[in-house]
Chain A
Amino acid sequence: MILLQRYIAFIFLLLGIPVTAGTLIVSPDGPVYSVKAALEQAAAGDTILVRAGVYKEYNLLIDKPVTLMGEGLPVIDGEDQGEIIRVVADNVHIEGLLIRNVGTSYTSDHAAIRMVRCENFLIKNMVFEKLFFGIFLEKSNKGIISGNKITGDATDEYSSGNGIHLWYSHEVKVLDNSVEGVRDGIYLEFSDHILIKDNTSKGNLRYGLHFMFSNNDTYINNVFKDNGAGVAVMFSKHIKMFDNHFLKNWGTASFGLLLKEINDSEIKGNVFEQNTVGINIEGSNRVHYDSNDFISNGWAVKVLGACYTNIFTRNNFLSNSFDVSYNNSMNDNTFHGNYWSEYTGYDLNKDGVGDVPYRPVKLFSYVVNRTPETLVLLRSLFVDMIDFSEKVSPVFTPDALVDATPLIKRRK
């Protein structure tokens, strides 16, 4: 078979048709009619060029370092039969294909592309539709996932998968992808030194980004919008979260960002806008919150359980129903130099810092923490009055919980 193929290529060569050495062409008109056949024929280092067309194939196995390249966005339709591409070799490059109809299963996690123990891979400019899992990395390192567009049609959590799924994979770059309509947009578990940058993850059933037990990761300039619950970062340390947008994660159990057991991390330059809870913090220590914008959230920062030595500085708190909420009166966190839109103090010496400390925790937020039903009295005159009297002479709110140097003007 392979011999025949070589033979044909040789004839093509004789006929003067330009075929680069090591390139196999798949097209509905031949010479190779299926990707599967091409993969079987290809030698290590070959390029398989897939021309536009619809290829009804699944369970494709890439077991040698090849480049699988689409031209004019060819479609690989799995017809819901199961996994579509599995890669088990290093140095594989997949680009420019549209993969659709990945089979849904309750027993195995079928993916459009599954990488198993690979290194130095590149998955680029792919389109995924009607999928279960999109790109599934299993113990695969040092690769790049870039410019892909994943559009699922998930309706419930138990019968849907994740867009980009990393499991025990390290030093991977996830760049410029757009994920929507799946369970979790991007999912990381036991994956370290990952860079997630310039992605958009929106309208996903559960989390825009979900990650657990993964350390030393960085995510920069991503947009997380309209996800069921927001972004969840759990049981990890040394995480850098810079310049991300968390928008409109609005629902009874939603939040922009959930931090659970996160230590020694930096959250800087992010925007949290119109989330039920901007950041929900549980048991996180030594986290530095710097220069974030919290705009029109229900709660900007909700602190639950013991959180120690966190620093909030240079943040803007604008029109949130509650700026900061605590469920205990212990405080070991510092607030300084933030801008609070509800601050009513003055600045006599004109140094840009208010002369009166600001207390970001309202009495009503304590009452609400104790009896959540009382929230029905939000924005009633009585509540405003008790908040005001507490502000004038604090009795219930902890003394230490103040921003002693509140900014007069919003940080630009």
Chain B
Amino acid sequence: MIAVEQLYKRFGKNEVLKGIDLKVDQPGVYAILGPNGSGKTTLIKAILGMVIPNKGEITVNGNNVSKSPVYRQDIGYLPQIANFPANLTVKEIIRMIQDLRNSTPDTGQLIEWFGLQPFLDKKLNTLSGGTRQKVNLVLTLMFDSPLIILDEPTSGLDPVALLKLKRLIRHEREAGKTILITSHIMSFVEEMADEIIFLLEGRIHFRGSVHALKEKTHTHDFEKAIAKTLTLNDSYV
């Protein structure tokens, strides 16, 4: 699926990624965690081809990321802040993204799932943040892509929608997809993630299941475990 080799990225003097090696070849939910500035978003953006690495190579399904944009056909991406052309309606933006990807999957189920029917003919700039996030999720998930990248998917969602999202993610996992998630909501991560990729100062600090992390830090509380990893700098896996 995804193979990252010796990835380095510098923004000016600020070295963000310092040699990341990462292989994701099994389906499942992978949570990319780390403190602010640890390089989570940069890593995701590098996989998506938005950030051009200084060094290293990324392949997705065997396609080199820097060569051609075609590999993104296999990716569904949910950006952290989604802002759409203000004057389009929900229906139009869905049709537009479908048109741009040259594929017209049925979205009825997803729209119903998030209860977006009443908003279909509304302009996007009139919607609330949560509703917009739902639209955003529909746009990401409707293509049935084998690789799904969700950057802070929970932001702005009400509890009901959050529940629905969780169910949807599980459903996708069962369908054999690879899902990368970044989130600050630890309970969400604990509940959803099969595997945790913990970034610290531009390197992979820990990789393993939630259980393994707890064991390693000798805590039962996930959040405490995370906090502890931050202090145990010598413990590479």
Answer whether A and B touch in the complex at a CB cut-off of 8 Å: no
Residues of A within 8 A of B (CB): none
Residues of B in contact with A (beta carbons under 8 Å apart): none
